[in-house]
Structure 1
Amino acid sequence: MRIKKLIAFFFVLFAISTTNAQTKKFTIHTVAFYNFENLFDTINGTNNDEEWLPDGTQNWTSNKYKQKLHNLARVISEIGSTDNPNNSPTLIGGCEIENRGVLEDLVKEPALINKEYGIVHFDSPDKRGIDVALLYQKKHFKPTSYKNIPLLVYRNQINQAAKDKNEADDASDDKSEIDKNLDRVYTRDVLLVTGFLDGEEVNVMVNHWPSRSGGEKKSSPFREAAGRLNRQIMDSIFKINPNAKIITMGDLNDGSYNKSVKEGIGAKRKKEEVKQFGIYNPFEEMFYKGNASLFYRDAGDIFDQIMVSEALIKNDYSTYKYWKAGIYNKPYMITTIGQYKGYPLRHSMTEIGFSDHFPVYIYLIKEVK
């Protein structure tokens, strides 16, 4: 009898614990990154945008531009809706953006206009004029500072790699421009935005690392430099606040397993491996489980990643913490026929798609007392 009573007691205790867990309530925010792939307007600018004009090779008309905006807005409005159905992302990092004007057009789309997104954007030295930017919901996030930090890379960084490796040039329209006088390779800046998310300070970095033009191994030193720059920025923030909440995101043109991420940033695959000042990368585990945000040389990979500092993975939800990550790849965003079946549905001469990347996202949650 005593054993039966003891078992019954434990059942009651378990039921109470389960009930208490179920009654907990959380505030949730989605943080996302999306490569908008050639978000150009139809106006001839000072950048190399001739391809994306009405009389250019893409025959980029106003109607096509408007359809592209509509498609992107639809996706953005739905990212993270599985677990956060009542709101679109609070923070959205983006890349392959021609200028601030296209972002102003984007946030005025019917699917987004009621969210009242603010914009942080700088023109980068990239000759095609494809920049990075951060969109944020003004009612939830209040920027206090923002700046663009240049990535200084030079052609002589890859001279030895070029001698050692004989690679075919990767097919890509994301070519790096080289200053023949300085040998500098012009690429995108890193965008750093600091602000308050519902009163809590958060630092957000948005990246678009140098492409694999010229070959993966030959161009790797550029991305390794980008990883080290990310680490330097983080360390400078940690000197001011050892418990800083940092989110770094972007199209890295490298996988989570590459040297640029593993050594440059020092990102870890598992939470328990992350020490103070460390960085957790949930997309590394997702990659090894077979997920992909794009297809590179006919193989799926995750070049689009969001990583968080140690302060965001502690098991105390009295302030905002990382919960989980995902890749948003609904059927309407996927090519259904032909050679590229299963790939992201991108723009072609006959169809205005979305992007050659799927967006990625994480959730930040805080317990409501």
Structure 2
Amino acid sequence: MRFPFFKKKTKKQRYTIAFYNLENLFDPERNTKILDKDYTPNGAKKWTVERYQRKLDKLSKTIVKIGDEDHPYPPALIGVAEAENNSVFKALLDTDAMDDLDYGFVHYDSPDERGIDTGLIYRKRFFKVLHSEPFALLVDNAGGVRDTTRDILYVKGELNKELVHVFVNHWPSRRDGGVETEYKRVIAAKEIIQKIELIKETELDPNIIVMGDFNDDPSSKSLQTMTEGAFLFNPFEKIHIPNSKGSSVYGNKWNMFDQILISNSFFKFQKNTHSFDAAAIYDHKSLKEKKGKFKGSPYRTFVSDRYMGGYSDHFPVYAVFTFNS
């Protein structure tokens, strides 16, 4: 279901911005500094070069089609989660589906013990990186031990020469319980608010895009803290239907952990600016389980250690913007 806001104008220049959790995009090589042993040819997942290449092919073909119901061209920006290192980004962009589109990427290794990071993929034709850096998310576990979670990736750039600030997130998981770990994601929300406040010290009405796998739904305390504290709009609040629609499934419940939030500045219609047009989950039939009790849910690469050969345990999400020329 698409989430339209405004009537289409004639001769629109439209651009898609997306987010996709890639579900453990590891290369097959062992890295003794992180916990990636399972994702090697001799590991529990039997992660061979062939399986790796197959996943790259599936992901790349999906990425270039995200949002094609609303806009037929490949996304200008794609935030991603669960990518291991620079080499997997390079391999992804070298696939047949993406090689000719002149994509670049921004990635930093994070302290995550499994080595799965966030990144931003961008079409150089439309987006110019001016500055980027990772922000450490400093949270402790219940016992006072540091949780080595993913950094928040910040990228400042120009989208069609308009200045935008992008935050790509993969917030702490719910592995130890949703309620028990809620405080970590609230801390992440407050970190984003602080960074946005710093931007506002030098820009009157900045263009902010906050995307990611937040491991919380739009109605959760963390997301509400961020939307209220940073005055952000979250189109996925109305898209999420817990019993039937979301970006991932856990325990027969649809979650909307993958979201894209935007500043109110994207509701202006001034010349040479971008205006928000629509947002949706990209849940094409090719990305879904075809049969069985999980029919309709994301077609995963693995279920535990069982190889399924699918894409990801998350659907991508996207937002479409109109450039006012």
Match of 1:231 in 2: 193
Match of 2:49 in 1: 62
Please point out which of 226, 239, 245 is paired with 2:207: 245
Match of 1:343 in 2: 297
Match of 1:82 in 2: 69
Q: How does 1:97-112 map to 2 (within 5 A)?
A: 97-112=83-98
Match of 1:40 in 2: 26
TM-score (norm 2): 0.93
Structure 1 residue 124 displacement after superposition: 0.2
Residue 157 of structure 2 aligns to a residue in which SS? strand
Structure 1 residue 84 displacement after superposition: 1.5
Please point out which of 314, 317, 323 is paired with 1:360: 317
Contact 1:119 1:134 in 2 (8 A): yes
| Structure 2 residue 214 is the aligned partner of structure 1 residue 281 | no
Contact 1:334 1:344 in 2 (8 A): yes
Q: Deviations over 1:274-294 (max 9, x none)?
A: xxx610000001114853101
With over 3 angstroms needed to count, the CA separation of the structure-2 counterparts of 1:56 and 1:201, relative to structure 1, is same
Residue 120 of structure 2 aligns to a residue in which SS? strand
Query: Residue 240 of structure 1 aligns to which amino acid in structure 2?
Result: T
Match of 1:257 in 2: 219
Mapped partners of 1:53, 1:75: distance in 2 = 24
With over 3 angstroms needed to count, the CA separation of the structure-2 counterparts of 1:22 and 1:130, relative to structure 1, is closer
Percent of aligned pairs with the same residue? 37
With over 3 angstroms needed to count, the CA separation of the structure-2 counterparts of 1:122 and 1:297, relative to structure 1, is same
With over 3 angstroms needed to count, the CA separation of the structure-2 counterparts of 1:356 and 1:40, relative to structure 1, is same
Larger radius of gyration: 1
Contact 2:16 2:318 in 1 (8 A): yes
Mapped partners of 2:272, 2:298: distance in 1 = 38
With over 3 angstroms needed to count, the CA separation of the structure-2 counterparts of 1:37 and 1:22, relative to structure 1, is closer
Residue 266 of structure 1 aligns to a residue in which SS? helix
| Structure 2 residue 280 is the aligned partner of structure 1 residue 323 | no
Mapped partners of 2:174, 2:8: distance in 1 = 48
Contact 2:15 2:323 in 1 (8 A): no
Residue 128 of structure 2 aligns to a residue in which SS? strand
Contact 1:147 1:193 in 2 (8 A): yes
Mapped partners of 2:219, 2:267: distance in 1 = 21
Match of 2:130 in 1: 144
Contact 1:317 1:365 in 2 (8 A): no
Unaligned runs of 5+ in 2: 1-6
Please point out which of 177, 191, 201 is paired with 2:163: 201
Match of 1:271 in 2: none
Structure 1 residue 62 displacement after superposition: 0.5
With over 3 angstroms needed to count, the CA separation of the structure-2 counterparts of 1:60 and 1:288, relative to structure 1, is closer
Aligned residues: CA RMSD = 1.7
Structure 1 residue 314 displacement after superposition: 2.7
Mapped partners of 2:271, 2:311: distance in 1 = 35
Contact 1:228 1:265 in 2 (8 A): no
Mapped partners of 1:285, 1:94: distance in 2 = 23
Contact 1:230 1:265 in 2 (8 A): no
Mapped partners of 1:317, 1:327: distance in 2 = 29
With over 3 angstroms needed to count, the CA separation of the structure-2 counterparts of 1:115 and 1:219, relative to structure 1, is same
Unaligned runs of 5+ in 1: 1-20, 160-181, 268-276
Structure 1 residue 350 displacement after superposition: 4.2
| Structure 2 residue 259 is the aligned partner of structure 1 residue 305 | yes
Query: Residue 362 of structure 1 aligns to which amino acid in structure 2?
Result: A
With over 3 angstroms needed to count, the CA separation of the structure-2 counterparts of 1:233 and 1:265, relative to structure 1, is farther
Structure 1 residue 367 displacement after superposition: 2.9
TM-score (norm 1): 0.82
| Structure 2 residue 76 is the aligned partner of structure 1 residue 123 | no
